[in-house]
Structure 1
Amino acid sequence: MESLSHKKKVVVMIALMTSMFFAAINQTLVGTAMPRIIATLGGMEYYSWVITIYMLTSTVATVLVGKLSDIYGRKPFLLSGIVIFMIGAFLTGLSSTIFEMITYRGIQGLGAGILMSCTSMAVGDLFAPRERAKWTGLMMAIFGFSSIIGPTLGGVMIDHMDWQWVFWAFLPLGVIAFVMIWRIFPKTAKVQSESIDYLGSLLLSLSLVSLLIGFSWAGTKYAWGSIEIVGLFAAAIVFAILFVMVERKAKSPVMPLSLFKNKIVVNTSLSGFLMNAGMMGAMIYLPFFVQGVKGLSPTESGFVNMPMSIMMIVLSSLTGRWISKSGKYKRYAISGIAFMVVGMLMMVVMDSIAMALASMCVFGIGIGLAMPVFTLAAQNSVPLDQLGVVTATSTLFRNLGGTIGIAVFGSVMNGVLTRNMEQAMAAGQGPDLSKIDPAQAEQLGTLMNPQILLNQPKLAEIEASLPEQLQQGFLQLMDMLRSVLSDTVSMVFMLGAGLLALGLILTLFLKEIPLRTAHKGAEKQVGSTQEAEA
């Protein structure tokens, strides 16, 4: 697609950015609204699964579509990704139980994985790395813009509309994105000499699914040392070994093992993994502090997220331009993750909404600086014919980090929450139920679950319905639950800061090579770089 005129490329980019915005706005709408939705449907213990299944299916789709789109072109996968995402979003709005929502979110994640990864690959097809940096920054800005209006709009919708509209409201935008891609995006000829690595794709998918389900169930549904969890991890290892054996002999491997001889690809993949693990795993629980501990509504919670998104938009756009101008990218990765570590540490000690806002600003600066770097650096280090698989690999590790991070943090959240509740009750922080009428004590006992803090209207309704003699005990119980929840999310944020710190250390060793200014000569430049590394 390099032969397209610049004007045509800009038009294609508008279509791609519309598609990305469609997927991103749907995802950011959900974040603020999900605590209220879970409180409505029930099943707080499955909260992390709603997020995890989305990440799991999008991860599998991402890695599979990389090689396939190298063979068949990006356009059919962009279109199919939009359609699958729309179907999943529509069905999710029809959910009547938490288990239905988990299933339909899995379908939505499949479409998101195809759509988001193909969008990144298409940008790589259109532009050489030096110019690509600028457009990558703009794509991140689009995602950031959705992060500004998404949480706030999601909060407004969940406060004033049925929760189903969180998933349905932007479906017309999906239709617009589909028509734009169908009409504007250029077709590419199929690579006739390439074959599809069905067996490798199957083994990789089985390994990823076993691994991610193992992390999701460990510490929640089953103990970490249980036969179920050990069996899942063992299956993941066995499938991974078989996958490596198949890939070594495959004519057209779904994930060429030669990629992992490239030090830049390895470093950016691991750094992206740690960054997303720390970021996604911890950030998903921010609404628990804002809505649960501080009692803000989902709408107000959306405003708390806004500074992060604004900083992300500004810095990602500027970072793309700075990288495009200088050809240097390592400094932005290092400084970005450093800001993220500081922001996460601020979340650990935050005790007010003002502190939450400040931490969001710092964290947003870090995201804006670091996020455009890793895929760009990986793409720049390989030949053009490996653009799809290296983009998919980079995205795979980021998604794995986010998925495993969410699962691990969910396990930590549930375990620490239970322990803190037991300790608070043992220390006498809650009401003394032995001094209350047994029937009334039982009534208060049913409220000993921090989940009730996430639905403020329901909480106010319960408080108004209680007899006067229970009001003091109720207030004491709520104070205890807020304290327990605050201590628990602080532990989650501390773990996130630790993972981000590991990512920062790894990024210090990232080898930087100049960004290419044209697609031509890419193989020669990359080859000489790899020889120099060896």
Structure 2
Amino acid sequence: MEHLTQQRKLTIMVAIIAAMFFAAINQTIVSTAMPRIIAILGGMDYYTWVITIYMLTSTIATVLVGKLSDIYGRKPFILAGIVFFIIGAFLSGFARDIFELITYRGVQGVGAGIIMSCAFTAVGDLFPPRERGKWTGLMMAVFGFSSVLGPTLGGWIVDHMSWKWVFWIFLPIGLIAFVLIMALFPKVERRASEKIDYAGSLFLTLTIVPMLLGFSWAGTKYAWGSQQILGLFAATLIFLAIFIWVESRAKSPVLPLSLFRNSIITISNVIGFLMNAGMMGALIYLSFFVQGVLGIAPTYSGYVTMPMSLSMVVVSAVTGRLITKTGKYKRYALIGMPVMVLSMIMMAYMNSVWMAVLSMLIFGFGLGLGMPVFSLTVQNAAEPSELGVATASSQLFRNLGGTIGIAVMGTIMTSQLTSNLKATIASGGGVDISKLDPAVASKLAAFQNPEMLLDQPRLAELQHTLPEQIQPILAKMIDMLRDALSASLTTVFLAGAALLVIAMLLTFFLREIPLRTSNKMSEPQEKKAEDGDGKLAPSQA
């Protein structure tokens, strides 16, 4: 599609951005609303599953569609992705319990994976790598804008309307995006010579599912050393070995192993994995700190994350333009990564809303510098004929990192919370209701659950129903819960910071090759991408 006129490319980008915004806003609007939704539907033990199933299905959809869109073109898949997302969002509003919500969020995840994979790949179809910097920065800004609007709006909805509107309010945007893509996006002829890798697709899915289930259930539903968890990880290794064997013999593999012989693609994907594991795994629990520890209502908790989104919008847009202007990209990642680490350490020790706001502002600055880089490096180093599958590999590693990070951080938080509560009671600093009068203990039993901190209206209502003489005991219990939750979240944020440090160190080993000014890869560029020679030829220096 590089031959299209600039005006046609711009109209197509409008359609792509509309589809991306629809998927992004429906994800961010849930973040601040989810604690209240979980409190209403019940099932805090399954909280991470609402996010994990979304990431799981989007991960599988992303990587499978990457190769298929190389064969059939992007248009049919991005349309299908919008349809899946609309259906999932519509049904989520009708969920009667946590298990139905998990199922419908899984359907949404399928749509999101398809939309994101095709959207970023389509930019690669339209523009050469040198021009993609500004468009990648703009697409990051779309995510940032949705992060500004989504959490605040989500909090306001659950405070003033039925929580169902969290999923329904932006459905018209999905319909508009569908019409725009249908009308503007050009159709591409199928590559008749390529066949679909059904076996590779099957075994890739069978590798991903037990791996993510293992990480999700370990430490919560089952012990890490239990037969169930060890069995899931064993199944992962077995299916991975079969997948590698199948792909090494496939004529048109769903995920070509040759991609990972390219050091730029491999290192970029590993960095993306670690970044998302640390970032998503920690930030998803920021609402627990703001609402549970500080006691801020969902409407206002969205304002705490807003500075991160605003700074990311501005910085990512500027960074994209600078990358396009200079052709250099590694320097921005080397600046952004340490900034993200610093902000994550600040989150670990924050004790007020203002410190939370400052840490979010700094994190958004680092994110805006670093995030646009690693998709660009993968697309620049890949063969144009493998653009879709290369972009999908980048999305795959990021989604895996986010999913595993959320699951592992959830395990850390839950285990630390239980341990902290037990230690507080054992030291005499808490309230052991088993030693109280049975009548009093029965009234206070509901306040032993940390889930209570996330539903402030219910907490206030129950507080008013208790006799005045029990209020001091109740206040002590609530303080105990908040202290235990705060200490648990400190561990979560420090774990996220540690992962970002590893990603930062790997960035130093990422080779920087010139950004192409065409979608055709010249022989010198192809050689640099494949053989590890990162030096510029005299004509490029």
Shorter-chain TM band: over 0.9
Contact 1:84 / 1:110 at 8 angstroms: preserved in 2?
yes
Q: In the aligned structure 2, how far is the partner of 1:94 from the partner of 1:243?
A: 38
Contact 2:262 / 2:529 at 8 angstroms: preserved in 1? no
Shift of 1:366: 1.0
Whole-Å Cα distance in 2 between the matches of residues 366 and 25 of structure 1? 22
Deviations 1:493-519 (A, max 9, x none): 010000111110111110110111111
SS at match of 1:511: coil
Pair 1:484-2:494 in alignment = no
Partners of 2:175 and 2:524 in 1: CA distance:
42
Deviation at 1:377, TM superposition (A): 0.3
Report if aligned partners of 1:144, 1:310 keep a CA contact under 8 Å in 2: yes
- Amino acid in structure 1 at the alignment position of 2:388: G
- State how far apart, in whole Å, the 1-side matches of 2:379 and 2:521 are: 14
Instruction: Determine the C-alpha separation between the residues in 2 that align with 1:188 and 1:337.
Output: 38
Query: In structure 1, what residue type is equivalent to 2:382?
Result: V
The Cα of 1:434 is off from its aligned counterpart by 6.5
Question: Which residue of structure 1 aligns with residue 509 of structure 2?
Answer: 509
- Distance across 2 between alignment mates of 1:371 and 1:485: 30
Q: Hey, what's the Cα distance between the residues in 2 that align with 1:46 and 1:72? A: 38
The 1-side partners of 2:520 and 2:420 are apart by 60
Query: Residues of 2 paired with 1:436 and 1:530: CA distance?
Result: 70
Give the Cα separation in 1 of the matches to 2:47 and 2:528: 49
CA contact (8 A) 1:430 1:477 kept: yes
Distance 1:355 1:72, change over 3 A: same
Residue in 1 aligned with 2:537?
none
Residue of structure 2 equivalent to 1:351: 351
Amino acid in the other structure paired with 1:73: G
Could you list the runs of 5+ residues in structure 1 that have no partner in the other structure? none
In the TM superposition, what whole-angstrom CA distance separates every residue of 1:211-239 from its partner, at most 9, and x where no partner exists? 00110011111111111111110111111
Cα offset, 1:520, TM superposition: 3.1
TM-score (normalised: structure 2): 0.97
Pairwise CA RMSD: 1.1
- Per-residue CA deviations over 1:448-474 (Å, capped at 9, x if unaligned) read 111101111111101111011111111
How far apart are residue 428 of structure 1 and its match? 1.9
Question: Does the C-alpha gap of structure 1 residues 527 and 481 become closer, same or farther in structure 2, counting only changes over 3 Å?
Answer: same
Whether 1:338 and 2:335 are equivalent positions in the alignment is no
The CA distance in 2 between the partners of 1:69 and 1:168, in whole Å, is 29
Report matched runs for 1:32-47 at 5 Å: 32-47=32-47
In 1: Cα distance, 2:57 partner to 2:228 partner: 21
**Is the 2:348–2:494 contact (alpha carbons within 8 Å) kept by the matching residues of 1?**
yes
Partners of 1:206 and 1:322 in 2: CA distance: 41
1:336 Cα offset (Å)? 1.2
Q: CA deviation at 1:521?
A: 3.9
Alignment of 1:96-245 (within 5 A): 96-245=96-245
Give the distance between the partners of 2:512 and 2:278, measured in 1 at CA: 24
For 1:89, give the aligned amino acid.
A
Question: What is the match of residue 382 of structure 1?
Answer: 382
Separation in structure 1 between the aligned mates of residue 532 and residue 287 of structure 2, nearest angstrom: 48
Show the counterpart of 2:282.
282
Deviation by residue 1:179-234 (Cα, 9 ceiling, x = unmatched): 00000011111101010000000000000001001100111111111111111101
| 1:89–1:104 Cα contact (<8 Å) kept | yes
Q: Which residue of 1 aligns with 2:360?
A: 360
Q: Does 1:63 align with 2:53?
A: no
Q: Any conservation in 1 of the 2:223–2:229 contact (CA below 8 Å)?
A: yes
| Alignment deviations for residues 73-95 of structure 1 (CA, whole Å, 9 cap, x no partner) | 00000000000011011111111
Deviation, 1:16, is: 0.3
| 2:209 maps to amino acid | V
Identity of aligned residues (%): 61
Relative to structure 1, is the Cα distance of residues 469 and 435 closer, same or farther in structure 2, using a 3 angstrom cutoff? farther
Structure 2, gaps ≥5 residues long: 535-541
CA contact (8 A) 2:264 2:510 kept: yes
CA displacement 1:312-338 (0-9 Å, x = unmatched): 000100010011011111111121111
Maintained 8 Å contact 1:383/1:523: no
Contact (CA 8 Å) 2:383, 2:521: kept in 1 or not? no
Find out whether 1:86 has 2:59 as its counterpart: no
In structure 1, distance between residues paired with 2:292 and 2:460: 13
Distance 1:521 1:498, change over 3 A: closer
Amino acid at match of 1:229: I
- For 2:341 and 2:440, the matched residues in 1 are separated by 46
Per-residue deviation at 1:533?
Answer: 3.5
- Return the alpha-carbon distance in structure 1 between the equivalents of residues 434 and 138 of structure 2: 61
Q: Is the 8 A contact 1:384 1:522 kept in 2?
A: no
Q: What SS does structure 2 have at the residue aligned with 1:4?
A: coil
Runs of 4+ off more than 6 Å: none
Counterpart residue number, 2:399 = 399
Displacement of 1:435 after TM fit?
6.7
C-alpha contact (below 8 Å) 1:382/1:523 kept by paired residues: no
Q: In 1, are the aligned partners of 2:138 and 2:317 still within 8 Å (CA)?
A: yes
What is the letter of the counterpart of residue 476 of structure 2?
A: Q
Deviation at 1:304, TM superposition (A): 0.4
Aligned amino acid, residue 217 of structure 2 = W
**What is the rounded CA distance, in whole Å, between the counterparts of 2:19 and 2:434 in structure 1?**
59
Please say if residues 384 and 521 of structure 2, whose CA atoms lie closer than 8 Å, have aligned partners that are also in contact.
no
Q: Any conservation in 2 of the 1:58–1:109 contact (CA below 8 Å)?
A: yes
Range 7-16 or range 523-532, more displaced:
523-532
What is the CA-CA distance between 1:531 and the residue it aligns to? 3.4
8 Å contact kept, 2:263–2:532:
no
List per-residue Cα deviations over 1:269-289 (Å, max 9, x = no partner): 000000000000000000011
The structural deviation recorded for 1:345 is 0.2
Looking at structure 2, the residues matched to 440 and 89 of structure 1 have their Cα atoms a distance apart, in angstroms, of 43
Correspondence for 1:461: 461
Which deviates the most, 329-338 or 404-413?
329-338
> What's 1:308 paired with?
308
Q: Which amino acid aligns with 1:358?
A: L
Give the drift of 1:528.
4.5
Closer/same/farther in 2, CA of residues 61 and 522 from structure 1, 3 Å limit: farther
Compute the TM-score of the two structures, normalised by the length of structure 1.
0.99
CA deviation after TM superposition for structure 1 residue 441, in Å: 1.8
Aligned counterparts of 2:286 and 2:66: Cα–Cα separation in 1: 33
The separation in 2 between residues aligned to 1:437 and 1:263, in whole angstroms, is 66
Give CA-to-partner distance per residue, 1:407-432, whole Å, 9 cap, x none: 10111111111101101111222236
How many positions carry a matched residue from both structures? 534
Matched-pair contact (CA < 8 Å) for 1:26–1:150: yes
- Aligned residue in 1 for 2:319: 319
Q: SS of 2:448's equivalent?
A: coil
d(CA) in 2 for partners of 1:172 and 1:410?
Answer: 34
Answer whether contact 1:384 1:523 (CA < 8 A) is retained: no
